[in-house]
Structure 1
Amino acid sequence: MDWDKLRIFHAVAEAGSFTHAGDVLNLSQSAVSRQISALEDVLQVPLFHRHARGLILTEQGETLHKTVRDVFSKLEMTQALLTESKEKAAGRLRITTTTGFGTCWLMPRLQKFMSANPEIDICLILEDNDLDLGMREADVAVRMHAPRQPDLIQRHLADFHLPVFAAPEYIEKYGEPKTLDELVDHQIVAFGEHHPPVADINWLTTYLETKGLKKSARLEVNSMATMASAIASGLGIGSIPTYAAKEFPNLVQILKDIPSPTANAYFVYPEELRSSKRVAVFRDFLMSELGIR
């Protein structure tokens, strides 16, 4: 199997079309198509189902893609480690974290990190679903749960509480609940639509359901930062991490005597990057900003 053909196959499999892969590779659509056809001739199996809306990998194509993707991921990691300066941290660092933590906590602090490390370029990927660090979808992650993959290095960073908040305008209009049971008479803002990045973010509605006081949220939104904004604008009562609440000084913490869950934040990276200076300086920066010694 010719290396150039495998490189083109990888680009096509990732892009889902000859045209888009050609744009990435700076090749014409016809040149890309010819290379894929030549690879299929060598292997004597079809790699793609071709249809009007694009390309779909065949079973054989999926098998080849998995191997080629792993090879390219390993090569990319090796290149980064080989080119990294032995004296100082340098190069590109791909960081993934949840949209809420990235928007509310990390982004306001990135300028400080990048000023202190002028030779590190950042690619920040905000995604509530976990990216596969083993497959090099990112270099490091800050997650609100312990890593589920066994081959990742983890460092517990912080426990962020999930207090209950409301806006002064909401309290003035609807009153302030004194117990969790009273929330059944209030408007609740919750995280909705898909698996939440913080496990207990909807603990208020969960509590009401366990008490037989079934109460649907008045507003569901799949963004922690937008939840905070909605609560601050008076749309309802909600529980959000303290790092999100700090962006809205007008928020009032209510039900203070009620114990609230916590979100456990972890810094995670693959074993291969254990000796990376870029990873080390970013880890130390996080710990410093969070007051960890």
Structure 2
Amino acid sequence: MGLHVAPTGPECPPIIEFRNVEKRYGPITVLDQLTFSVKPGEHLALIGPSGSGKTTILRILMTLESVTGGEVIVNGVTLNREHKNGSDVPASEAHLRKMRADFGMVFQHFNLFPHMTALQNVALAPVLTGLLSKAEAKERALQLLEKVGLADKAEQYPSRLSGGQKQRVAIARALALQPKILLLDEITSALDPELVEEVLNVISNLRDETDMTMLLVTHEMGFAKDFADRVLFFERGKIVEEGPPTEIFQSPHHERTKSFLRKVIAAGHRI
């Protein structure tokens, strides 16, 4: 199926870099001089209270939001600026479109086209971008639906699918353009509890079977612990603490991290 395989090793430069990134909405600072990097093939979990800037990071990478200051670099190329006529200028739509091709994103609320079948939803983007012919896109879509366990739902419309099935179609759609980086934004928060596991199983399989770089924003701490190579805990647009899952979830150093995890446990969530 041709899913992206990333180079690995300590000598590989980061696939993503945030350098002193700011994002403000008027007087409200969402990201505050944020600096971090992601290695090719790394699985990163972004956790923290609502409003701490986690989803904004994914939306910036997907070019759905612009930065107020700083630089975002993807595969060695600046995302938010480009060099043109001898000077650095804000990124054009053509530049953003080219950069966007590295990413696939799965949203919280599915965002499927209701008038298209599951198959059509998955096959659409490769045809619109000219990556595949209609026949090739259909073949890939069928393969991806099989991968997420929905080969028998290919001709069903979203209205006939459960929430978990819709989200699995959305995952297949995100994979259709063979992204190097998969962004996962609270992909289970809109689901009934009994449907969460079927979606997380698909992500676990992708994690184990591919070398895609993956960034996961989630409140499912138990899954973050199993999924991630590294966990970043955010508060007010800054990284308060980062480290391997065993360290963050079992022996956090920062009092704010400890307080957050105590509240998660008190709410009945597994860690």
| Structure showing greater Rg | 1
Instruction: Report the TM range for the smaller structure's normalisation.
Output: under 0.3
Q: With structure 1 as the length reference, what TM-score do the two structures score?
A: 0.23
Q: Counting strand residues as a fraction of each chain, which structure ranks higher?
A: 2
Q: Counting helix residues as a fraction of each chain, which structure ranks higher?
A: 1
Q: With structure 2 as the length reference, what TM-score do the two structures score?
A: 0.25
